[in-house]
Structure 1
Amino acid sequence: MPRLLLLLLAVPALLQAQPSAATITAPSATKERADAPAPSSMRNASATRVSQAPVLDGRDDDAAWRSATVIDQFLEYEPNQGATPRFRTEVRVTYDERYLYVLGRMFDPAPDSIISLLSRRDVRTESEQLKLVIDSYHDRRTAYQFITNPAGVKRDFYVYNDNVEDPTWDAVWDVATKIDSLGWVAEFRIPFSQIRFNQDDTKRFGFLIVRDVARTKQRISWPLFRRDVQGYVSQGGELEGFGRLPQPRRLEITPYVVEKSSTRQNANGRYSSPMSQAFGADVKMGLGSNLTVDATINPDFGQVEADPSVLNLSAFEQFFEERRPFFLEGAGIFQFRTACDDIDTGCTGLFYSRRIGRSPQLLNRYGDGSSATASRIIGAGKVSGRLASGMSVGLVTAVTERELGTQRRTIEPQTGYAVLRLQQDLRNGNSGIGVMLTGVDRTNDEWSRNALRGGAYTGGIDLRHRFAANNYELAASVSGSTVNGTADAIAATQRSSVHQYDRPDDDIAYDPTRTSMTGDAERLSISKFGGGITRFQSVLQRFSPGFESNDLGFQARADQQMFRNWFSLQLNTPTKYYRRAFLNFNTFNTWNTAGLALGQGLNMNWHVELPNTWWIHTGVNANALTPVYSDRAARGGPAVRLSSSGGAWLGLEGDRRKWYTPTLFLGTNSGDEGRTDGMWIEPGIQARVSSRFSASLAARYDRGNNDAQWHSNVVRDGETHYTFARLKQSTLRTTARVNYTATRTLSLQLYAQPFVTTGRYTNWRELDDPRATAYADRYQPFGPGDPGGFRVREFRSNTVVRWEYRPASVLFLVWQQGRSLYDPTASDFSFPQDVTRVFDVHPMNTLLVKASFWFNP
């Protein structure tokens, strides 16, 4: 813990001590690219300083707008790149000591046909919109997006790495819109305190403007955005005319109070719903004009949507997305790709923020339970921003409370976390080098020290380099890790599915006396992301057997090497057969570090938008066409040969301009010499009954037979038997969402998901000759006994009323419900019986009221 606190205190001071050098100005886009340069009038614009601010009323008749320079050289980029737009657009920019003002006049000869849909903040609808992309650092890599539609719905993003959007960034800004006889108007007022920029006497912003015309599916921009060029922040024009901008005071405080009632079950099986209160606060403070400190004290995320239900029968941990606002905002700066397989969902590199405040790891280990579903975060802080020298800075530190079970035994110790991320841009952002360090310190006691590691630390260096008109990129990273703890804790780490040091047929030594473990990871990729219609990426990556980053990162397994290739044809020029099409081809091969082949596969997937804006998706894959093996299938047993397998899928998506949009996806797979098979179907519909009300309903049904499902490892007479069985499993998941927007600041959102899965095991076998060529020769009967089965029923729902009663001050009313039952008996799926009985399970309800108040002292 002391080391983590010292890191938090030292880094901001060191960063503030750096000289405030002038911004390194990137060369103009005409010099950066080999394509024909656009006329300067189509890439350069000027902002006008005003003494009297325009009135924010959605009208363009203020004196400030009459004297402002007009930006009107817009071009269409979708579907016909470079075409003259059908509708004219004019944009004007002014500013004063506190605000940047932008007026957009979107001409339309049929104002009654303008699609204007109401939604809650940050929700994209199929309506017309105007988007401002402001590269205030002028680094051609980062930007702030401000978006509105004719209904005045606000959306905003922080953009990093030239094209990656962070939708969790929320700024405090205003906009007024109006539909009139000429079309519609959007009038923005953006405080300089909400964006970051370097201080110098002559300021330039990168600037990109995008207009979407919903009913014609046309997209136009200033300057022309080219889809055959990598990124879009770097394609922005120049917004000049600023003198030395003021350095606004940046301090925002948001205290909040929560009143909550949660259902609990005591040791006697009885239920109660006691009331509880909590207080906390979020603080945002500027360090100069470049860095921002975010802090949260006793945070509550009760309004966040629940995770989807899932039954994980694999050897690896299930990945869930981060949903908590504090950790989502600015998450892009903390990305660090280790030896990360992009094909597998859930790769986060060295930092997976859901480790902070995680579910107690020792819950039920000692036979006692707990009502705690997450470790309480006492406090967390974050420093982020970009220095004048081109260095991006990210620092996170957090402390979670010790959690006790019903018998007063530790189920999660007090833990401190720290993450430091630094990235230095070179060559005007076209190259860069970075470093990342993470640390976890646990205050273990007699209940946790032999189960959980005491300390875990990782570090890495990464670099990237764009070349050949920025269409190609070379990237590499090297990482290392070290963990320590008692001999029992490190032995458990060695035996985990991540490492599996206890396998009997490998050369990795399992040492139960070790008290530490180290490892390394490497990744090298070369990519083509721009230029012409072709794209490709080749990746070579490696995990050493001892690499361990799961204390603060997400890593499915160690001891793996992979070579992956992706090739794509991106056809963006419309024809009479399609509006656009993306044809992807993939190959991959994996091995462990001893050279044993673990996987081999081919994949093709195509995505085509038809002239009527319907989408067709299809794909096929083939795996294990050459001899490959699974060294994790037997959960510590010998490697098992895998038989070839394959699958195919098809999907349809309807026209999103209509009031309803149907979708249908389905697929099938087979393997294990015909013994394994499966199918799935996923229908859905999205409907907008009115401009205020929308809903969606999707269901997915999976049915399959897995003839080689691991069942258990059984010890008899001192010998371990690695058993498998044929699993017949059916799963039905339905997801419903309802959104009602009364006003731009008052909305209701409902999410509900019933989930049922049933399974029956038959043909119980054990490994005989696991590397045999013929499938049948790998197993022999095991018994006697019934291998059993299972039935799981769950229901999760979340209802949220959100009222932004003043800018950035929000009142939440939340009702969450969860029902869950696991029945360890063999079962076949029965519809509708299994579905309706989900509601026979006793509900666990949470009712809460959360009120926050934002002020800027």
Structure 2
Amino acid sequence: MFVELALAFQTVVAAGPATPPREGIFVPPAPKTVPAPTARGATAMRAATPPVLDGVDSDPIWRDAPAITQFRQHDPVEDGDPRYRTEARVAYDDRYLYVFVRAFDPSPDSVMAFLSRRDARTQSDYLHLMVDSYHDKRTGFRFTVNPLGVKRDVYISNDGNEDLSWDGVWDAVTKVDEQGWTAEYRIPFSQLRFPAAEAHTFGFAIWRDIARHNERISWPLYRRTQMGFVSQWGEVDGFEGIASPRRLEVLPYSVSTDAPRPTANGYARQQTITFGADVKYGITSNLTLDATANPDFGQVEADPAVLNLGAFEQFFEERRPFFLEGAGIFNFANNLFYSRRVGRAPQLGGVYAAQDNPLNTTILGAAKITGRTASGLNVGFIDAVTQQELGADARTIEPQTNYMVLRLQQDLRQGNSGFGVMATATNRSLDADTRRFLREGAYAFGLDARHRFGENNNYQISGSAVGSHVTGSEEAIWRTQRSAVQQFQRPDSPLEVDSTRTSLSGTRFNASIGKQGGGVTRFNTGVTRISAGYEVNDAGFQPRADFTENGNWFGLNFVEPTKFYRRLFVNINQWNNWTTDGLRLNSGGNINVNGELPNQWWFWAGYNVNGIGEVYDDRVTRGGPALRRNLRQNAWLGFETDGRKPVTGTLQGFFVFKDASGSSEWGLDPEVNFRAGGSVQGSVALNYYEGVNDQQWYNNFATPGGTAYTFARLDQTTMGVTTRLDYTMTPTLSLQLYAQPFVTAGDYSELKQVVDPGAERYEDRFAPYTAATPTDFNFKQFRSNTVLRWEYRPGSVLFFVWQQGRQDDRNPGSFEFGRDYGDLFRTRSDNTFLIKASYWFSL
């Protein structure tokens, strides 16, 4: 009543004669006129009184702020009429950005919404608020909420790369009513980044997902056929008198752990308690410092089990939040920075082996600076220090190491062009235990550039150049030259091992041009050249050196629905590979198709061919001669059922046709996803593989006549089951289970050695080798992670974690489902329990 009388009084005064008021009577100023929104622009209204965050639009600011109504459908029909109306209003005060969105729906009881842990996606209706506070058309933040208040937030870089690990501190309240549902946002300006100025214009977009119709609408209209994501957002101006504070956020935490530890007499339990802290500080309005001391990653999901029989290192995704957040800015030249190197497993754990060696290297501390200046310069910097790790025999298995990464990117032409640099440095404090094996220093420096052009900037040309330099003792560099990456020792290669070298240098060049948007057609063509001495594996990830590749891609994108499909994509790829001295490594191609059917099932299929013509594999003999490759063909097929149903399924498989050696493979990957009661969701995925490989590398043996490069016939069966179960009690309290039993068994036979690696007939390349008998294997592993997560206040979380691991190798050479899985679960289990408590506060 008081608010209504005040508004009525204000209206009467405004309508009266323009005479000075009598002394002692206060007349509030007339509200500032705000222009009506357009199809791409709007103006924010300053709130004299902060709205109550309750999901209801009864506050005065929501009655006064003009409504954005020009929403358009962009999926499945681009620029189609939306099925239901949507309205949004934007307001602000000195501290917060406020947005109120009403999603009209004639059947509110049909609105789909499921509880889940934060950042997990379900088959729910969603509202996505996206803000480009830099207004650079390249970076932004996405704040997503479903009708039950489950939040997801994303940091976006490079006009489309999404960083799901970013967790801002913000609030949103949702409400389902007779008109549909609403979302009321309150986002602190401290969570956004923008330069100091009297007035600001933000890039802005609002999307709405209507799950039961699989429809997506947006303001402004987003065109799937046009290149770019952030660059297509609209604008909201009118932000005056706001300041991006120099934020100081502190997250201290403690971790209590009870874990098994191997001893000379078996195993014993070990209890520890550690303390650490994460700090986030706004150095300027544009640059943010993230620092961590004694970081803990105990609640992070375990890596999947794998048995790597190939020539190249296995790549694992980063899962640690400190390295994930803002990782997009460090993308350069195919993993020039691979954050899993920091805190890696001790490299000499197998050299100075002991039963109770540390499994990972402790990170003493790390700091990261990220941000963007008003001139469009993106900045990324990381420095981390890991401690010296000693094995049980007191020998160093990992030296103290410093990692440094610097990334700078300058945007031009409103983000449509740009150039950048990146540098990495790794410095180790070596001692007598490590100097023979590890490089002392490793450095890389690169340049990259990109340029969009043509109608709607749908074409792009890009390129990069990197130089690397590593240093170390003569023996360490000798080992580098003979590693799986370089392999200078190959007898048929012009490369030669120099045992006197104390450094090694190399280069990597890449250039490509393509059409990424506009119309139906897409294409890309590019070339990459990596010199023989290129080495960046101290801070990056590089499977091999001495490599040249030309790749070509042509695609057809049919995104307008028809009676046969909702969308359809056809792709044709072709590639050619050589060593830098011209040895032809591969020539191949594929054709694949994928799409969504009118019943909202997805499907995909393809055919692949490799080894066309006379081509060789120069890595398969692990330092021996290049071995001629066989023509290899494979096909795949899969489908996924309608995701709106409470139980959905995926089934995909592949088949490798028998080649000249008699080798063939096949695999099947079914998966079932389910939801129950709105708060339980899970999945069970099976991965099954059978294969016969007649030329599986086995070992290289020294003989009086030289090295024998041996291969064998390998019959292998692999089966893994991955189970995930999430029970969400409230948007801030959830229980998560991950479990994966994994078994792979291999039977070696017909051991043979290479005698004529380039022979045209497969049978002429080998001769029987009888001086050794191959050893079969049966590798079993179980990993599980159970996490109870409670965000008891915004940004502050309590974790209860139970991790279990099992491993067994009985019955080598044969696979039996019941026996092998029974053996795995009858073996001794390693159980680790930990409690982690963190408390977020801001100064």
Shift of 1:391: 0.1
Q: Measure, in 2, the Cα distance between the counterparts of 1:826 and 1:695.
A: 33
Q: Measure, in 1, the Cα distance between the counterparts of 2:605 and 2:66.
A: 48
Q: Measure, in 1, the Cα distance between the counterparts of 2:606 and 2:135.
A: 41
Q: Measure, in 1, the Cα distance between the counterparts of 2:639 and 2:652.
A: 6
Q: Paired residue for 2:283, among 282, 287, 296?
A: 287
Letter in 2 for 1:652: F
Partner of residue 216, structure 2 = 219
Q: Measure, in 2, the Cα distance between the counterparts of 1:366 and 1:278.
A: 27
Q: Measure, in 2, the Cα distance between the counterparts of 1:487 and 1:246.
A: 56
Partner of residue 843, structure 1 = 829
Partner of residue 130, structure 1 = 127
Q: Paired residue for 1:298, among 270, 294, 300?
A: 294
Does residue 466 of structure 2 align to residue 466 of structure 1?
no
Does residue 128 of structure 2 align to residue 142 of structure 1?
no
Q: Secondary structure at the match of 1:489?
A: helix
Shift of 1:326: 0.1
Letter in 1 for 2:612: L
Letter in 2 for 1:841: T
Q: Secondary structure at the match of 2:657?
A: strand
- The alpha-carbon distance between structure 1 residues 822 and 401, as it changes in their structure 2 partners (threshold 3 A), is farther
Q: 2:357–2:390: 8 Å Cα contact kept in structure 1?
A: no
Q: Measure, in 2, the Cα distance between the counterparts of 1:220 and 1:431.
A: 29
Does residue 470 of structure 2 align to residue 483 of structure 1?
yes
Q: Measure, in 2, the Cα distance between the counterparts of 1:417 and 1:211.
A: 42
Partner of residue 727, structure 2 = 740
Q: Deviations over 1:138-170 (max 9, x none)?
A: 111111110101000111101111111110111
Does residue 606 of structure 2 align to residue 609 of structure 1?
no
Q: Measure, in 2, the Cα distance between the counterparts of 1:603 and 1:532.
A: 23
**Map 1:54-93 → 2, pairs under 5 A:** 54-93=51-90
Q: Deviations over 1:313-350 (max 9, x none)?
A: 0111000000000000000001111xx4xxxxxxx2x1
**Map 1:155-166 → 2, pairs under 5 A:** 155-166=152-163
Q: 2:102–2:181: 8 Å Cα contact kept in structure 1?
A: yes
Q: Paired residue for 1:375, among 341, 347, 361?
A: 361
Q: Measure, in 2, the Cα distance between the counterparts of 1:723 and 1:116.
A: 58
Letter in 1 for 2:715: K
Does residue 429 of structure 2 align to residue 433 of structure 1?
no
Does residue 437 of structure 2 align to residue 451 of structure 1?
yes
Partner of residue 18, structure 2 = none
Q: Paired residue for 1:275, among 251, 255, 271?
A: 271
CA-atom RMSD in angstroms: 1.1
Q: 2:407–2:421: 8 Å Cα contact kept in structure 1?
A: yes
Partner of residue 114, structure 2 = 117
Q: Paired residue for 1:556, among 543, 550, 554?
A: 543
Q: Measure, in 2, the Cα distance between the counterparts of 1:366 and 1:245.
A: 59
Greater gyration radius: 2
Shift of 1:846: 1.0
Letter in 2 for 1:415: T
**Map 1:281-360 → 2, pairs under 5 A:** 281-337=277-333, 340=334, 348=335, 350-360=336-346
Does residue 394 of structure 2 align to residue 408 of structure 1?
yes
Shift of 1:431: 0.5
Letter in 2 for 1:331: A
Shift of 1:670: 2.7
TM-score (norm 1): 0.93
- The alpha-carbon distance between structure 1 residues 671 and 643, as it changes in their structure 2 partners (threshold 3 A), is farther
Shift of 1:264: 1.2
Q: Secondary structure at the match of 2:804?
A: strand
Q: 1:101–1:190: 8 Å Cα contact kept in structure 2?
A: yes
Partner of residue 677, structure 2 = 690
Shift of 1:585: 1.1
Q: 2:131–2:203: 8 Å Cα contact kept in structure 1?
A: yes
Identity of aligned residues (%): 53
Shift of 1:494: 0.7
Q: Measure, in 2, the Cα distance between the counterparts of 1:822 and 1:393.
A: 49
Q: Deviations over 1:646-670 (max 9, x none)?
A: 0011101010000011110111103
**Map 1:748-827 → 2, pairs under 5 A:** 748-822=735-809, 826-827=812-813
Q: Secondary structure at the match of 2:73?
A: strand
Q: 1:642–1:672: 8 Å Cα contact kept in structure 2?
A: no
Q: Secondary structure at the match of 1:476?
A: strand
Q: Measure, in 2, the Cα distance between the counterparts of 1:629 and 1:542.
A: 18
Q: Secondary structure at the match of 2:751?
A: strand
Q: 1:363–1:369: 8 Å Cα contact kept in structure 2?
A: no
Q: Measure, in 1, the Cα distance between the counterparts of 2:139 and 2:485.
A: 36
Q: 2:246–2:283: 8 Å Cα contact kept in structure 1?
A: no
Partner of residue 497, structure 2 = 510
Q: Measure, in 2, the Cα distance between the counterparts of 1:803 and 1:390.
A: 39
**Map 1:124-203 → 2, pairs under 5 A:** 124-203=121-200
Q: 2:245–2:282: 8 Å Cα contact kept in structure 1?
A: no
Partner of residue 384, structure 1 = 370
Q: 1:370–1:404: 8 Å Cα contact kept in structure 2?
A: no
Q: Secondary structure at the match of 2:38?
A: helix
Shift of 1:842: 1.4
Letter in 1 for 2:193: R
Shift of 1:276: 0.3
Letter in 2 for 1:853: Y
Moved more, 571-580 or 712-721: 712-721
Letter in 1 for 2:92: Y
Q: Measure, in 1, the Cα distance between the counterparts of 2:628 and 2:512.
A: 29
Shift of 1:245: 1.6
Shift of 1:287: 1.3
Shift of 1:364: 2.5
Q: Measure, in 2, the Cα distance between the counterparts of 1:367 and 1:99.
A: 56
Q: Secondary structure at the match of 2:773?
A: coil
Q: Measure, in 2, the Cα distance between the counterparts of 1:173 and 1:40.
A: 25
Q: 2:195–2:244: 8 Å Cα contact kept in structure 1?
A: no
Shift of 1:775: 0.6
Q: Paired residue for 1:644, among 631, 641, 654?
A: 631
Shift of 1:199: 1.9
Gaps of 5+ in 1: 1-38, 341-347
Does residue 428 of structure 2 align to residue 442 of structure 1?
yes
Q: 1:363–1:370: 8 Å Cα contact kept in structure 2?
A: no
Shift of 1:689: 1.1
Q: Measure, in 2, the Cα distance between the counterparts of 1:291 and 1:676.
A: 55
**Map 1:245-256 → 2, pairs under 5 A:** 245-256=242-253
Letter in 1 for 2:431: D
Does residue 610 of structure 2 align to residue 623 of structure 1?
yes
Does residue 563 of structure 2 align to residue 576 of structure 1?
yes
Q: Paired residue for 1:653, among 602, 617, 640?
A: 640
Q: Deviations over 1:500-554 (max 9, x none)?
A: 0010011001111211100000000112111101111112001100000000000
Q: Deviations over 1:205-224 (max 9, x none)?
A: 11111000011111100111
Moved more, 154-163 or 670-679: 670-679
Shift of 1:795: 0.2
Q: Secondary structure at the match of 1:798?
A: strand
Q: Measure, in 1, the Cα distance between the counterparts of 2:788 and 2:236.
A: 40
Gaps of 5+ in 2: 1-35
Q: Deviations over 1:334-393 (max 9, x none)?
A: 1111xx4xxxxxxx2x10000000010101312324342210000000000000110000
Q: Measure, in 2, the Cα distance between the counterparts of 1:202 and 1:211.
A: 29
Letter in 2 for 1:620: Y
Q: Deviations over 1:680-735 (max 9, x none)?
A: 00111000012100110000110000011001001122621000010000000110
Partner of residue 22, structure 2 = none
TM-score (norm 2): 0.95
Q: Measure, in 1, the Cα distance between the counterparts of 2:499 and 2:444.
A: 23
Q: 2:262–2:268: 8 Å Cα contact kept in structure 1?
A: yes
Partner of residue 255, structure 2 = 258
Q: Measure, in 1, the Cα distance between the counterparts of 2:829 and 2:351.
A: 24
